[in-house]
Amino acid sequence: MNARLPEISTIPERIAALRAAMTRAGVDAALVPSADPHLSEYLPPRWQGRQWLSGFTGSVGTLVVTKDFAGVWVDSRYWVQAENQLAGTGVDLMKMTGGQQTTPHVEWLAQNVPAGGTVAVDGAVLGVAPARVLSDALGARGVKLRTDLDLLDEVWPARPTLPSGPVYEHTAPHADAGRTGKLGQVRRAMQEKGAQWHFISTLDDLAWLFNLRGADVTYNPVFVAHALIGPDRATLFVAEGKVPEALAQSLAREDVHLAPYAQAASALAALPAGATLLVDPRRVTFGLLQAVPSAVKLVESINPSTFFKSRKTVAEAEHVRATMEQDGAALAEFFAWFEQALGRETITELTIDEKLTAERARRPGYVSPSFGTIAGFNANGAMPHYRATPESHSVIEGNGLLLIDSGGQYLDGTTDITRVVPIGTPSAEQKRDFTIVLKGTMALSRAQFPRGVRSPMLDAIARAPIWEAGADYGHGTGHGVGYFLNVHEGPQVISHYASPEPWTAMEEGMITSIEPGLYRPGKWGVRIENLVLNQAAQKTEFGDFLKFETLTLCPIDTRCIDLTLLRDDERAWLNAYHETVRQRVSPHVSGAALAWLEARTQPI
């Protein structure tokens, strides 16, 4: 916290303060990414500088400020939100994708900062790969890149400190593999790559590797730390006081030692000449990597732990199945209440969030939501990352479609589900859109594919029915999901926007979302999302094949379906899915929730 500065209340005042700091430092442009020293998706408050400076609260976006320009680059998921939040601030919306695409921020800086000028970005939050792209683009135009400045510290009066919540152990039976075994896996992978040392900054990798959890990042049960893995010793760099003494002693007995968070860079600087260090350039920051001596050889490759944690064990898969039953029961309780209360009491998008969270909280093993609930009625549902606020939300009344995207963190798994339900009488066009999206969800859910296929290549399977209807959607079709960890994890991603790199290969045990959509701005949105598990399908002379097991257990509302658009095999898949949902969830509910479940799983 910088107590010397008075609070700055408006966005124009904050931008002006940043410009003044830039002038003092001799900087022509400042770049503020949505990032922290761990390149997290959800940021601890201390590193939410882009949000504080611009007022845009979306989880992804890049702010650029010069003496006469300020703009936030966002993709199509956030255009409506950003347009509303940036209005009147003097900060422009810069659209990254679609027919109205603007120049990417790297190219914009190269074009608009004069030769001999300087661009500043805090290297502590800038990924290695983006730093290289930025440095090359600016250098080609004679523009200097400075990464040694944290201008936010100069202008943010009440900047939050490091999070101080305690770290705790994820124990058996929820965690079925011990730290020592996991460290052994990682060290064997290090040896295969010829590395003696390995540095890890990504928080979910650390949580998985050390069987530890925390609450430093909203929705994700992780803690802020770095780790340096050596041949026979691991050091965890974490703020003092966060790890209870008994746990610290337990870690030490397994040769995992604690050091202050701020000492990570100095530990890298102390690596001996001739040592070999494994780092993932997509998961470590430029600032930290600069601390590594030139005499240390770098081996750049994906973190081994990213692969290992993506492939759930047999025991973990069983835990997730049990968690899905509990999550399905919570959803049945919620929807039973919702349908009874609709029209009898005032229900808003905020009410939905409150009631859903309350129902999940009653379930065994529940810890927290896995992300901020998206409840969007009609036009609000057309914004994929819409978030209702006390200042701006809709009452659920009249006719239309309500989209609900929600999830929970449980000790035995992480859930993420999207359902769309009718309010009043949905129109024929709304039913058509819903059915087209459902066909996309079913097409990919039923797919069989070679083991090792690059996950982005599966995207077209879900899009084909939607493309056939002359429609499309601007987000990916699927993301990996952690085991009581981040709701978004790699390495797999089902999206034609992603590069089909070798590390995106689909392997047995991975949990991934399937969530195609269709959005009509100003009208309504449809997205149907289930989580699926990669399973062995068959082995032929052409190789090993995988298939998906659908894990999510919640009815898909048949009142929204245009039955004339479904083939017999699609009806059969949906009926079989609903039979599974009814059998597995019904033992966990009774009364109104059971009656709702039985009604919504009737065959079509």
Same domain, 445 and 319: yes
Q: Supply the DSSP symbol for 599.
A: H
Q: What is the pLDDT of residue 102?
A: 54
User: pLDDT tens across 513-529, in order?
Assistant: 999 999 999 999 999 99
pLDDT (0 to 100) of residue 99: 41
pTM of the model: 0.91
371 in the same domain as 515 = yes
149 and 187, same domain (yes or no): no
104 in the same domain as 180: no
Q: Specify the CATH number for the domain of residue 95.
A: 3.40.350.10
- Give the domain extent around 131: 11-155
The SS3 of residue 479 is strand
Span 18-23, average pLDDT = 96
Cβ contact 418:528 at 8 Å: yes
The pLDDT of residue 391:
85
349 and 231: one domain?
no
pLDDT, average across residues 205-214: 98
Whether residues 178 and 118 fall in one domain: no
Share of the chain above pLDDT 70, in %: 98
Instruction: Give the span between the Cα atoms of 404 and 377, in whole angstroms.
Output: 9
Domain-embedded: residue 5: no
Which DSSP letter does residue 551 get? -
129 and 38 co-located in one domain: yes
Distance CA 594, CA 434 (A): 25
* Helix ranges restricted to H, 232-299: 245-253, 264-269, 286-289
Q: Which pair of structure tokens corresponds to residue 383? A: 């914004």
540 domain-assigned: yes
Question: Which of 130, 155, 180 is where one domain is finished?
Answer: 155
Q: What is the tens place of the pLDDT at every residue in 462-489?
A: 999 999 999 999 899 999 999 999 999 9
- Determine, yes or no, domain membership for 270: yes
Among 291, 308, 325, give the residue marking a domain's end. 308
Q: Which CATH number is 379's domain given? A: 3.90.230.10
Looking at the predicted structure, is the pLDDT value of residue 100 above 60?
A: no
Residue 8 has what pLDDT?
A: 65
Inside any domain, residue 438: yes
Q: Is the pLDDT of residue 333 over 90?
A: yes
- Tell me: pLDDT of 98 over 90: no
Q: 4 in a domain, yes or no?
A: no
Least confident range of 174-183, 319-328, 354-363, 378-387 = 378-387
Average pLDDT of span 406-418: 98
Integer Cα distance of 103 and 96 in angstroms: 7
As a whole number of Å, the CA-based R_g of the chain is 25
Give the Cα separation of 329 and 308 in Å (integer): 30
pLDDT in the model for residue 97: 66
Considering the chain, what is the average pLDDT of its residues? 94
Confidence of residue 212 (pLDDT cuts 50, 70, 90): very high
Structure token digits, residue 291: 């601390």
pLDDT digits (tens, 9 = 90+) for 41-61: 889 999 999 999 999 998 889
Higher pLDDT, 407 or 383: 407
Examine residue 161 and state whether it is found in any structural domain, yes or no: no
State the Cα angle at 308 between 361 and 534, rounded to 5°: 70
Task: Give the torsion sign (CA, 516, 60, 212, 202).
Answer: positive
Give percent of the chain above pLDDT 90: 90
Q: What is the rounded distance in angstroms from the CA atom of residue 603 to the CA atom of residue 600?
A: 9
DSSP secondary structure, 406-474, as one string: E-EEETTEE--EEEEEEES---HHHHHHHHHHHHHHHHHHT-EEETT-BGGGGHHHHHHHHHHTT---S
Residue 446 has pLDDT above 90, yes or no: yes
3 C-beta neighbours (distance < 10 Å), count: 7
Query: What is the structure's pLDDT at 219?
Result: 94
Same-domain check for residues 120 and 67: yes
Q: Report how many domains make up the chain.
A: 3
The answer to whether the peptide bond before residue 173 is cis (omega within 30 degrees of 0) is yes
Q: Residue 5: which pLDDT band, with cuts at 50, 70 and 90?
A: very low
How far out from the chain centre does Cα 533 lie? 18
Q: Does 404 share its domain with 531?
A: yes
371 plus 488 within the same structural domain: yes
Assigned domain for 1 exists:
no
Q: How confident is the model at residue 89 (pLDDT cuts 50, 70, 90)?
A: very high
Residue 2 placed within a domain: no
Amino acid identity at 253: R
The confidence score (pLDDT) of residue 7 equals: 60
Q: Are residues 350 and 295 in the same domain?
A: no
Residue type, 192: E
Q: Which of 121, 155, 189 is the last residue of a domain?
A: 155
Helix 179-192 vs helix 203-210: crossing angle, to nearest 10: 120
Same domain, 316 and 274: no
